[in-house]
Structure 1
Amino acid sequence: MITVVGTGTGAPLPPDAEDAVARAGLVVGARRHLAAARLPADTGQVVLGPLAPALDTVERYLAGTGRRDPAEGAGGAGGVAGAEGASGADGVRDGRVVVLASGDPGFFGIVRALAERFGPERLDVRPGVSSVATAFARLGLPWDDAVVVSAHGRDLRTAVHVCRTRPKVAVLTGPGSGPAELGAALAHGTGARVLVVASALGDPAHERVERVTPAEAAARDWGTAVSVVLCLDASRVLAPARTVAGPAAGPDRWALDESEFAHRDSMISKFEVRALALARIGPRLGELVWDVGAGSGSVAVECARFGAAVTAVEKTRDGCDRIRANAGAHGVEVRVVQGTAPAALAGLDDPDAVFIGGGGRELPAIVTACAGRARRAVVVAMAALDRVPAARDALDAAGFACDGVLLQSSRLAPLPGNVTRLAATNPVFLLWGVRPPARTEGVPQ
């Protein structure tokens, strides 16, 4: 049996956890956890460093070979220190392994790795209070409607995109993905966000919970005591009561009617085109979508309604104002960049997917620029059929798998006398390219 004890945020171990530690033959944890647990001198110890060697040591111990290997460092990552002593020549007390972990070990913690290696039926998990719960408690805020993102040992970009779109986000930090890096990424074009940086939670002498702007966070060295950063839109932190925790549900409908957007002279992607474009873009929480030649911003707004972070690029000032107005009317955030593509794309973060709804004679260059930076997909809408070959060639040259369709639809339209006719809309060619999944050497795809 493996007992996994969540130490919370500085609170002493509960009595049953202290008893488990006292009877354990092997205790695994960070140096500070092991030091605070006051282990008997003859208890085997593994100081957590790289996870895999530590799990290997636990597996050997459970298999009955837990005595210290002289080739392993005493107390190093995966090394067992003091496995022999008063409790017997083989170092075993009751066969128990105790793993000490911060907060709630089942919440972005070590429980996942242990369950995958040893099976959940062999785990006795005793959770503590997570750093996220503690941070929100310090602010007096509920967090059932918060989105929690881990940037610990992960790419920060997902956390950045979620912070751009959701009013209440908790980011679990790590080296290279802390408050300074998050603040730098959010310092421009993120609306009214405040970062709450929680350091040394649970430590009465050193705990600090500070509210700063993203720019202020970017300008400081926060050290290593930060475990969680909250990104909040102060005007929306108290949402109505929820039935389902976590991110808000996606939109109940999409491919909205053109009448639901402000637009000029019918210069807007028709809902039939948007429906298929959205299916090929696949906007989702934690990703970034570009809408290039955005016009009214109808595609940008629809992607944002699905939870994606969106940057809309439009060359005219009145067009940019219209996009902002449409985003506000639908309660979403869209970063608007005035400029002409492809030059206007140079300073933007790389997107996961791109929709190109305009471009004129520059379309091949725009498609080439977008295809060179899109992680997943590029979708192009064209009214002029003679522009299709060049756009397709640009996607092919970037290694995308291409497909397309000519959309021709007829809508119901009333006639006098309570009768109906079919009114044809202008045909539009929709071309899309999908980046093939990366091949793993030696593994067939």
Structure 2
Amino acid sequence: MAEITVLGQTQFEAARFGAGTTDESGALIAEAALVIGARRHLDAARVPADRALALGPLMPALDAVALLVEKDPDARIVVLASGDPGFFGIVRVLAKRFGADALDVRPGISSIARAFARLGVPWDDAVAVSAHGRDPRRAFNICRSQPKVAVLTSPGAGPAQIGAALAAMPGLRRRLVVATDLGGPGEGIVELTPAEAAARDWPAVNVVLSLADDAPPVAQAMRAVAGYEGPPEGGWALPEEAFAHRDAMLTKAEVRAFALARLGPRLGELVWDVGAGSGSVAVECARLGAATVAVERDADGVERIRANAAAHGVAHAVAVVHGKAPQALAELPDPDAVFVGGGGADLAGLVALAAARARRTVVVTLAALDRVPEARRALLDAGLAVEGVQLQANRLAPLPGEVTRLAATNPVFVLWGTRPAAPTVSQGVQT
């Protein structure tokens, strides 16, 4: 049976310094009927042209392997890969196509491990995301929402694009570390602001670290789970007392719970909270992993939102815009979901704008019955599937004599519009 040996970059990169490959990897390459890899890897390992296949599109390379195996079941194939080929790498597609039993995987050191090693800091608290062959918005939004992120980049989702995406979020303070040609003769480590990264041209081979200014590079608490730990302890739909607010002007917990269920905030997405007030919805979405923008017209409300975000440990994920919608929304990145809390005479226009730009859903809460038809019509006109409900909660409240009554909260209308799901983007791999 043919054997496919996958060599991580550490296994053959010595050739980049003129020292040749290690004896073992050199022998494997010398005996291989076919060696597959990126052109830079084939050159680094000094693979003869008659046995080398430079990777372009992945499927033709896999077809070439299948054809060779069919002709010669005992053929040896070697695949050269960046870093650790089992980490967002080519092992996945090879195992699916040829079976895990056909693979002899010899991993190298991942570029993410190398990058953090150069900084001298641990990375078990970092979120690792690949933008290679994927929609880059997910990587951008994770950099916007998480304090410590490593991005495996690709054309169209490199340091310049990541920098531009971060610079577009008002008030988010990040520093980027761009590591280029790690382990090679042209290795470089550059630390700069997102705006500076957006203004430069970069080598094709790089990894980007996004670090929040307010988060220490070395976490104080020892972790048991690497990367993103999921929703925080204490659940969601926090009580009103968990937020600073003015005159009880915030979305009540019961309504917020329903709104969060319809917004569906998650890691890798961006949510707008328009007319944010206390910012309770933006803060809750950030606690659930989403990047958020809270738009508020009152200056005291802006400070209140920032204080609430800091109190709940998500100041790094909540961008606050001081301005009036819809004008304040013009320069913001397109959201996945939008929450509109209330609204005045321009409600229909605001909902229409939100519906035009939201990729997935818009949720509107209203106290006034008269506003419901115009908000619903705006969602329908945008081509969204619209549903609605009127919510009223009756809370247990004490009475004298150690008895309990039901205390009614004000009824609220919740409308939501959902866009039909777009086709998914095919996944790529690092090579």
TM-score by length of 1: 0.88
Give, as a single letter, the amino acid of the residue that structure 1 aligns with 2:62.
Answer: L
Deviation sequence 1:127-168 (CA, Å, 0-9, x none):
100110100011111111111111223333222211122111
**1:439, CA displacement in angstroms?**
7.0
Match of 1:347 among 331, 336, 339: 331
Bigger radius of gyration, 1 or 2? 1
What SS does the corresponding residue of 1:10 show, helix, strand or coil?
helix
In 2, Cα distance between equivalents of 1:392 and 1:115:
49
After TM superposition, the structure 1 stretch with the greater mean CA deviation from structure 2, 370-379 or 313-322, is 313-322
CA deviation map 1:195-251 (0-9, x unaligned):
111011112x32111111112212222232x42011112532211211111113312
Pair 1:247 & 2:228 matched:
yes
Structure 2 alignment gaps of length 5 or more: 16-20, 425-431
2:55 corresponds in structure 1 to 48
Aligned to 2:66: 59
**Letter paired with 2:355:** A
* Cα pair distance change 1:343/1:233, threshold 3 Å: closer
User: Take 2:423 and 2:91, find their aligned partners in 1: how far apart are those partners?
Assistant: 30
Q: Is the 2:279–2:305 contact (alpha carbons within 8 Å) kept by the matching residues of 1?
A: yes
CA contact 2:13–2:45 (8 Å) conserved in 1: no
Q: Is 2:323 the partner of 1:320?
A: no
Trace 1:185-224 onto structure 2 (pairs within 5 A): 185-187=165-167, 188-189=169-170, 191-203=172-184, 205-224=185-204
Residue 265 (1) aligns with residue 244 (2):
no
Question: 1:383-413 deviations in whole A, cap 9, x for unaligned?
Answer: 1112112111111111111111111110011
Question: C-alpha displacement at 1:94, in angstroms?
Answer: 4.4
CA contact (8 A) 2:145 2:289 kept: yes
Partner of 1:230: 209
Point out the more displaced range, 263-272 or 332-341: 332-341
Q: What is the match of residue 30 of structure 1?
A: 38
Partner AA of 1:6 in structure 2: G
Report the Cα distance in structure 1 between the residues aligned to 2:28 and 2:202, rounded to whole angstroms: 36
Q: Residues 190 and 247 from structure 1, CA distance in 2 versus in 1: closer, same or farther, beyond 3 angstroms?
A: farther
**Which residue of structure 2 aligns with residue 6 of structure 1?**
8
In structure 2, C-alpha distance between the alignment counterparts of 1:213 and 1:378, rounded to whole Å: 33
Matched, 1:102 2:82: yes
Q: Structure 1's 299 and 15: CA in aligned 2 closer, same or farther, altered over 3 A?
A: same
- The Cα of 1:286 is off from its aligned counterpart by 1.0
The match for 1:80 is none
SS at match of 1:222: coil
Distance 1:59 1:45 in 2: 16
RMSD: 1.8
Question: Does the CA contact (< 8 Å) of 2:230 and 2:289 recur in 1?
Answer: no
Look up the SS of the partner of 1:336 in the other structure. strand
Aligned with residue 274 of structure 1, among 242, 256, 259: 256
Q: Distance in 1 between matches of 2:90 and 2:186?
A: 26
Correspondence for 1:124: 104
Partner of 1:366: 350
Query: Superposed, which structure 2 residues align to 1:386-397 within 5 Å?
Result: 386-397=370-381
Q: Which amino acid aligns with 2:224?
A: T
Residue 284 of structure 1 and its aligned partner are, at CA, apart by: 0.7
Q: State yes or no: 1:285 paired with 2:267.
A: yes
Letter in 2 for 1:49: G
Q: Is the 8 A contact 1:10 1:201 kept in 2?
A: no
Q: 3-state SS of the aligned residue for 1:360?
A: coil
TM-score, length basis structure 2: 0.91
Report the AA paired with residue 6 of structure 2.
V
Relative contact order, CA 8 A, sep 6+: which one is greater?
A: 2
Is the 8 Å Cα contact of residues 339 and 363 (structure 2) preserved in structure 1?
A: yes
* Candidates 285, 292, 308, aligned match of 1:303: 285
Relative to structure 1, the CA distance from residue 93 to residue 33 in structure 2 (aligned partners, 3 Å threshold; closer, same or farther) is farther
SS at match of 1:116: helix
Residue 76 (structure 1) aligns with? none
Q: Which amino acid aligns with 2:298?
A: T
Instruction: Give percent identity, aligned residues only.
Output: 64
Unmatched runs of 5 consecutive residues or more in structure 1: 65-91, 441-445
Is structure 2 residue 116 aligned with structure 1 residue 113?
no
1:193 to partner: Cα distance:
1.5
Q: 1:363: Cα distance to partner?
A: 1.2
Q: Distance in 1 between matches of 2:421 and 2:73?
A: 50
- Pairs aligned (count): 410
Cα offset for 1:39?
3.7
Structure 2 counterpart of 1:250, one-letter code: P
